[in-house]
Structure formats: C-alpha cells, structure tokens
Amino acid sequence: MAEEINSGRTERRTRVVVFLPTNAADPRYDEVLAWLSDTAVRRHGGLTRDIGHPPIFQGWWLNDTVSPAVVVLDTICVCVIDVASSNLSLVGDWCSWLKRELITRLSEQDIWVVFYPLERVRLPYRNGSGEVVDVAS
C-alpha cells in the first residue's frame, strides 16, 4: 500500500512570475492589474497575486545616479501564472508579448516577466475513511 501512496503522477507546466512596480496613485495601475488578471484567467485558467495596498512585497535597490549609500524604496506587485504548456518557446513568446503590453499600458520600463519549467507531483492521499484517493485519475 505504501508504494501506491507514493507513486504519484506528474504534470509538466511552466510558471510565469510577473514583477510590477506599484504605483497606486496612477489610475491605470488598477486597470492594468484587472487586465492582467483577466488575460491570465482567460488564457491560462488563473493567476495568483499579492493584494496588499500598499503591496506586501518591497525591494530596496541601490541607485546608480547618486551616492551608493542612498537606497531607493521600490514596491512590487507579484503575479504568478501557472501555464499548462511545458513548451518554453511558446511560453517565452507569450511572456515577451505580455511584457510589451504591460510596458505600454503602464508607461513603465522596469517590469520583469520570468518563466521557468515546473513539474508538479500529484500524489494519491488517504481520505478521512482511510481510503486511497488518486487525484490524478
């Protein structure tokens, strides 16, 4: 029985992570987040993102134009999209298109769209009755 529990099934996907500098004062910002969410849901079935206002994630970056001791506060919105395709070339083309759209819609150059292969393991589990449930079937 233990072997059956640990046999599992895998699902090859690609994870896309979008890092957007946040500017809640810009009225386009909420519109762009709504557009990004809608695009991800329609094309790939969903999106996960932080919902903090101000955002939960913050980064501190050295500013090259002033003394290295000066630190610039930059708040970031992180969006995660799991794409069913494991074809990195196709996903890369979509990510390039997505980044161009986001740059245009926000008039912002410092947008990162990162993607990498992901293999999700879906293991059978025991339910409350002790029966083995295979979530992959």
Q: Which residues of the chain have pLDDT under 50?
A: 1-7, 69-73
Place of tokens 């990510």: 95
pLDDT of residue 59: 54
pLDDT at 31: 87
Write down the residue that tokens 């896309």 correspond to. 16
Q: Which domains does the chain have, with CATH numbers?
A: 11-133 (3.30.70.120)
- pLDDT, residue 60, reads 56
pTM of the model: 0.67
CA dihedral 136, 45, 116, 96 (to 10 degrees): 160
DSSP assignments along 66-110, one per residue: S-TT-EEEEEEEEEEEEES---HHHHHHHHHHHHHHHHHHHT-S-
